[in-house]
Structure formats: structure tokens, C-alpha cells
Structure 1
């Protein structure tokens, strides 16, 4: 990788918009999940937060637990990933934790077999191939390499700049009659009533 920090490289490839990023009570969250989350993921959450890249890759952020176990989208996708790991991976290793999901229903996870979260590799469940692939790098390095087309040719275009939209911004654009996926006027705005509010972490 070049001399820039990974978060700086990612910012060049996927500029965060104003108002992006989430604030998470990591002490409570890590207590709920029973793990320490990787520092690069915490950087990602502070810079980008919950949202989508190119209306294709959704990034997950842990929500406050509603009971004794984690809840919300991240917990639900993690439960699905763990089922797939048992069926198609190696059930003798520690569980996976999902941090992303694609429009193809692929799951992007960490493999948490190492005690040190800095050494958690990225494990990707391909629903189309019914197979796992493990990449010996953390989340930020994986995303930088992914967006440069190293792992999936679909990301290797001439422009090379990804469009990130936080869920709060998506709601604001929808309310203004703008398609959050394209940034263009939404031709269907108002046809199905006002956009439904989405619960944002911290509300």
C-alpha cells in the first residue's frame, strides 16, 4: 500500500459527504458483543457510518442492544453469516461477524479466530458460489483493494471513485424528491406517499 493511511486512501476512493459518520458507545457495544472491534472499523464508522457505496454495498453499524444480546441489522446479518460458516466454512474456528452486505446478498465479515482484532482477516460469503473466501487483511485495506478492482472486476472502472450515501442523507434526499442512488430527481417521488422514516442510531 502507498504512504497514505488506509482511511486517507479510502477517502480518496470514496469521499464521505458532509454529515456522514456515526457516534458509537464502543465500551457498551463491545460489552454487548463480547469482543473488541478493530480500530480501523472504528475509524470507518466515525468517518462514514451506516450507509451504502454505489447503491450496492451496505455497511453495517452496531445498534444499541434491546436485551441481553446484540440486536439490529448487524446482529441479524451476523447470525446469517454464522449459519453459512457452519454449513460451508469451518465450524471449528471462532464465529464470523458481519460488517457489510452486497446487493448480491454476499456477506462481508471478519473471521474472529485471533484474539487480537487487528489480525482479524476479512471473510466474504459468496451466495452465488456458495463458498467463503478469506483475505489476509483488515476491513479498510480490503475496501481500498476492492475499490481498486483487486478482488472483483466490477469495481475496476475508469473513474474509480465510489459514491457513499449515509442512511440519514438518503432519507433527506428522498424527502427532497431526489433519488439517493443517483443524486438525480426521483421520477417516482410522491407517488407512494411520503418516505417512511428510518430509525437512526442514537435517536
Structure 2
């Protein structure tokens, strides 16, 4: 069973009402190709939140708010150009060994209730190569997986990322809420 199927079984009967998306037109206009698992997730559920703790944005919001999100990163990091991420974790104010992530390559696709954002590290033309970063400007977590796999890992509580998996969340009662 793939991650999208797992999410469909975990949240049966939830039907988002996403606006139809012409993915090729978005790519032509904005130069962004979205990951295939995100497209399938959006086409199934639309924009949604898990309870009110983690929200996944629609493609229109992602693209429309790109410049605002970049300004938010600038403000949160004091204008730094990026962060080095090693062993899956990075701290903006420390220089650590690891991959340098240029903030200009980040594409925000989600938010949390604890002021962290979820980003694709869109450093390649091929979205299959994009990693996911979860950050608040100072602390960053990096995951080499797609969004559907990330959400399943959150729901299974198997992800080591305090902003996403907390002692009291998610639970068996967690709901997927389209918006």
C-alpha cells in the first residue's frame, strides 16, 4: 500500500473540493513543477489541515504567496541566505557540516500550529529530487521523502521532528479537515 492509499484509508469519506488544476499551465506560467505525490494528494483532498495542527496548502496559495514566504524567512533568519543541514537537522545561527540549503530554493507548502513551516527544497528542476524541510527560521529539519510519506510518518508518530510529532499529537482521533 502506498502512502496516498494509507491516507485515504485513514481518512475515509473525506472529500476535498479542490479547484481543478492545470499543472502544465502552472509550470508554464510560474516555472514550477509540483511533486507527483503532492498532485495526487491535492486532487484527492484539496487544501487541508490535520486537526488544526498542520496545514497543507493548495498550489495557487503556494505560488501566490512565494514572495511573502521568502520575506518571512528573511525576517526570521535576520537576512541569512541559507542554512547548513547535517544529519537531518540544521540551526541557522551555527555553521555545521552538511548540505547548504539556499533559502531562495525553498517553496513553502504547509504550516504548523507551532510557527513552523513546511518547505520543498526545490534546488533541482526534477521535483522527485526535492527534500522536505521543516523550519521556523532558526531550527530546521530535513527529510528525504515526499509529502505523502511525511504525512504517514507524522500520523504513525514514527517521525523524529518535535514541531510535527508532539507528545499529545497526533492521536487516533486526528481528523483531516479540507479548507
Q: Which whole-Å CA distance do the structure 2 matches of 1:95 and 1:37 have between them?
A: 14
Summarize the Cα distance change of 1:156–1:62 in structure 2 as closer, same or farther, 3 Å threshold.
closer
In the TM superposition, what is the alpha-carbon distance from 1:76 to its structure 2 partner? 3.2
Equivalent residue, structure 1, for 2:139: 131
Distance in 2 separating the partners of 1:79 and 1:29: 22
Q: Counterpart of 1:150?
A: 158
Structure 2: unaligned runs, 5 residues or longer: 84-99, 160-164
C-alpha displacement at 1:81, in angstroms?
A: 4.3
Aligned length: 155
Q: Is the 8 A contact 1:81 1:98 kept in 2?
A: no
Between the aligned partners of 2:72 and 2:121, the Cα distance in structure 1 is 14
* Other-structure match for 2:97: none
**2:53 is equivalent to residue 56 of structure 1:** yes
Q: Determine whether 1:109 maps to 2:119.
A: yes
Distance in 2 of aligned mates of 1:17 and 1:117: 27
User: What is the rounded CA distance, in whole Å, between the counterparts of 2:150 and 2:104 in structure 1?
Assistant: 20
- TM-score w.r.t. the length of structure 1 is 0.65
Confirm whether residue 12 of structure 1 aligns to residue 25 of structure 2. no
SS at 1:153's partner residue? Answer: coil
- The question of whether the paired residues in 2 share the 8 Å contact of 1:51 and 1:164 is answered with yes
SS in 2 for 1:137: coil
CA shift for structure 1 position 75 = 5.6
Please tell me whether the aligned partners of residues 15 and 164 of structure 1 are also in contact (alpha carbons under 8 angstroms).
no
Aligned to 1:29: 26
Q: Which residue number corresponds to residue 96 of structure 1?
A: 106
* TM-score normalised per structure 2: 0.72
Larger Rg: 1
State the Cα RMSD in Å. Answer: 2.8
Aligned ranges for residues 66-105 of structure 1 at < 5 Å? Answer: 70-71=63-64, 73=65, 76-77=68-69, 79-81=71-73, 87=80, 89=83, 90=100, 92=102, 95-105=105-115
Which range is displaced more, 116-125 or 20-29?
Answer: 20-29
> Which gives a bigger RCO, structure 1 or 2 (Cα 8 Å, sep 6+)?
2
1:141 maps to 149
* Runs of at least 5 residues in structure 1 that lack an aligned partner in the other structure: 168-203
The 3-state SS of whatever aligns with 1:110 is strand
SS at match of 1:143: helix
